[in-house]
């Protein structure tokens, strides 16, 4: 008998029927002899609808009030889920993030968890109750205000709680059966990955794969908390996110089936992100301090940039071009900040392209296996996809391409590395894709 943390995403609790289905699953886990802590997201698209509502009354909703508003979404699902569980004869108690002891810094909209003091959760478990915790929220230690962890943050709540109460596993339920070799919405032949390392999952998540909240994977890796990603709509075995050495070993938590299929995979998956933008600063004087000034300005505008490419300067002019990518939603802010420093830097002009995307192949095996980039680029070339920028890490190769060719690029990479399955494995059970 151990503690299991289960996190249910918005599409799993989208309506009353979904909540009843999830309640049954929770009660079954409890009946099997586990202590169960549940983390819930807001029902369906509630968070987006609340943001729309805020924008209707204010062009720039104050961050403190926006957080207060958004946490209401998770409060609805936690209370309704507790009712559904009690209706099945099982004791259940819901807790806000603050009541559950999720302590954060004071950064509204992107707060970081700095401590978890789960006394009330442990007391509920000791009483034989299922504890239900509102995801993606906490309370600031300094201001005592309610905070949110950023979109998709309930995954992080779940892993942080699992670590704090020493759970055996953190199960994350969504509307697909696990982590796939590519997003099943654009690659119908995507195959479920039975086991994947924290590092590969981090790369996939950072490169746009909508599998897990990035910080949740960082947290799980730091404390070695196994994550089991699965669907609340099926009983299928999902994907285990574990330490690299446990991936091929078929480790403690894995199934036989999982352990045997994973050996020798060099590429684990293809991630994509269709919502990028690219800024090029043309004619930057090639002298010390220019890049520093440019990226300090971008950083001070709180913009997270991604890939950076700088060319060697043309001998005749002593000037160079610098390009970088960033989330499309932040493109205009970055352009405004850079325009304001033209005189200081003395660059010639700015170019903005808001229709680019990024496609990445990820796999721990590539660090010891030559020729991965060549095969990837050949496949893109055969598919007629033009590469605009390239970047690599030890276990990843990423390219920036025009947005219109992102899906073609994913399909080409998936095929060249033989990632596809013969039958259709991937079922998308729910969600509006919002
Ligand atoms: N409800 C929040 C969101 O939609 C948090 C979450 O789902 O994890 O972003
Ligand atoms: Mg959501």
| Contacts of 290 by beta carbon, 8 Å cutoff, 6+ apart | 284, 345
371 has pLDDT over 50: yes
pLDDT digits (tens, 9 = 90+) for 385-432: 999 999 999 999 999 999 999 999 999 999 999 999 877 777 777 765
Residues written for the chain: 434
Give buried/exposed letters for 217-249 (b at 16+ CB in 10 A, else e): bbbbbeeebbbbbbbbbeeebbbbbbeeebbbe
Contact of 61 with 54, CB cutoff 8 Å: yes
What are the angstrom distances between the C-alpha of 86 and each of 24, 79, 146?
11, 11, 28
Radius of gyration of the chain (CA): 23
266 has pLDDT over 90: no
Atom of ligand 1 nearest to the CA of 149: 5
Q: How far is the CA of 367 from the centre of ligand 1 (A)?
A: 34
Q: How far is the CA of 11 from the centre of ligand 2 (A)?
A: 7
pLDDT value at residue 176: 87
pLDDT digits (tens, 9 = 90+) for 144-161: 999 999 999 999 999 999
259: confidence class by pLDDT, cuts 50, 70, 90: very low
CA 258/CA 239 separation, integer angstroms: 9
CA 191/CA 261 separation, integer angstroms: 12
CA 181/CA 185 separation, integer angstroms: 12
Q: How far is the CA of 46 from the centre of ligand 2 (A)?
A: 7
Closest Cα partner for 23 from 120, 132, 122, 128? 132
* Residue located nearest, by CA, to atom 6 of ligand 1: 152
pLDDT digits (tens, 9 = 90+) for 269-290: 999 999 999 999 999 999 899 9
Domains of the chain: 3-264 (3.40.1160.10), 267-416 (3.30.2130.10)
Annotated binding site for substrate: 47, 74
SS3 181: coil
Closest Cα partner for 229 from 205, 264, 193? 193
pLDDT value at residue 264: 54
* Strand ranges inside 69-207, DSSP E: 92-95, 102-104, 113-116, 130-134, 137-140, 146-148, 169-174, 195-197
Measured from the alpha carbon of residue 70, the closest ligand is 1
* Residue located nearest, by CA, to atom 5 of ligand 1: 152
* Strand ranges inside 265-348, DSSP E: 269-285, 308-310, 319-327
Closest Cα partner for 321 from 356, 357, 278, 286? 286
SS3 256: helix
Contact of 37 with 167, CB cutoff 8 Å: yes
Q: What is the pLDDT averaged over residues 372-390? A: 96
1 has pLDDT over 90: no
Residues contacting ligand 1 via CB (< 6 Å)? 9-10, 41-42, 47, 73, 135-136, 151-154
Q: How far is the CA of 168 from the centre of ligand 2 (A)?
A: 25
pLDDT value at residue 335: 97
**Range with lowest mean pLDDT among 24-28, 65-69, 74-78, 204-208:** 204-208
Contact of 354 with 328, CB cutoff 8 Å: yes
CA 175/CA 234 separation, integer angstroms: 9
Q: How far is the CA of 370 from the centre of ligand 2 (A)?
A: 40
* Residue located nearest, by CA, to atom 8 of ligand 1: 152
* Strand ranges inside 51-143, DSSP E: 92-95, 102-104, 113-116, 130-134, 137-140
* Mutation test residue for ligand 1: of 8, 9, 10, 137, the one with most atoms within 8 Å of CB: 10
pLDDT digits (tens, 9 = 90+) for 198-232: 999 999 998 988 889 999 999 999 999 999 999 99
434: confidence class by pLDDT, cuts 50, 70, 90: low
Atom of ligand 1 nearest to the CA of 151: 9
């Amino acid at each position: 008998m151990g503690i299991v943390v289960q996190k249910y995403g918005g599409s799993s609790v989208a309506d009353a029927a979904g909540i009843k289905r999830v309640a049954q699953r929770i009660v079954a886990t409890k009946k099997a002899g586990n202590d169960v802590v549940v983390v819930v997201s807001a029902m369906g698209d509630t968070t987006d609808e609340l943001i729309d509502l805020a924008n209707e009354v204010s062009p720039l909703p104050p961050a403190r009030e926006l957080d207060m508003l958004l946490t209401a979404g998770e409060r609805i699902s936690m209370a309704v889920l507790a009712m559904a569980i009690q209706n099945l004869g099982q004791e259940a108690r819901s807790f806000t993030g603050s009541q559950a002891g999720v302590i954060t810094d004071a950064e509204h909209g992107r707060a970081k968890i700095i401590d978890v003091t789960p006394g009330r959760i442990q007391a509920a478990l000791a009483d034989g109750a299922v504890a239900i915790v509102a995801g993606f929220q906490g309370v600031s230690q300094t201001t005592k205000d309610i905070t949110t962890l950023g979109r998709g943050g309930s995954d992080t709540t779940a892993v942080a709680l699992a670590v704090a109460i020493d759970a055996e596993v953190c199960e994350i339920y969504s509307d697909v059966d696990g982590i796939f070799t590519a997003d099943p919405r654009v690659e119908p032949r995507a195959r479920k990955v039975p086991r994947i390392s924290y590092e590969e999952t981090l790369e996939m998540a950072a490169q746009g794969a909508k599998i897990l909240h990035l910080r949740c994977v960082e947290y799980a890796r730091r404390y070695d908390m196994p994550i089991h990603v699965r669907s609340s709509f099926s009983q299928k075995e999902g994907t285990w996110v574990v330490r690299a050495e446990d991936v091929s070993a078929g480790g403690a938590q894995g199934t036989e089936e999982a352990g045997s299929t994973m050996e020798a995979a060099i590429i684990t998956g293809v991630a994509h992100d269709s919502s990028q933008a690219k800024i090029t600063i043309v004619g930057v004087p090639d002298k010390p301090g220019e890049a520093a000034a440019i990226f300090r300005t971008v950083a001070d505008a709180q913009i997270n940039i991604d890939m950076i490419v700088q060319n060697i300067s043309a001998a005749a002019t002593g000037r160079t071009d610098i390009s970088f990518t960033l989330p499309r939603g932040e493109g205009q802010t970055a352009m405004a900040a850079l325009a304001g420093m033209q005189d200081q830097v003395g660059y010639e002009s700015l170019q903005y392209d808001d229709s680019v995307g990024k496609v990445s192949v990820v796999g721990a095996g590539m660090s010891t296996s030559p020729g991965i980039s060549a095969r990837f680029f050949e496949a893109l070339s055969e598919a007629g996809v033009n590469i605009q920028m390239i970047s690599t890490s030890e276990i990843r190769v990423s390219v920036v391409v025009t947005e219109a060719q992102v899906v073609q690029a994913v399909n080409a990479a998936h095929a060249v590395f033989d990632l596809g399955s013969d039958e259709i494995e991937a079922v998308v059970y729910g969600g509006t894709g919002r």
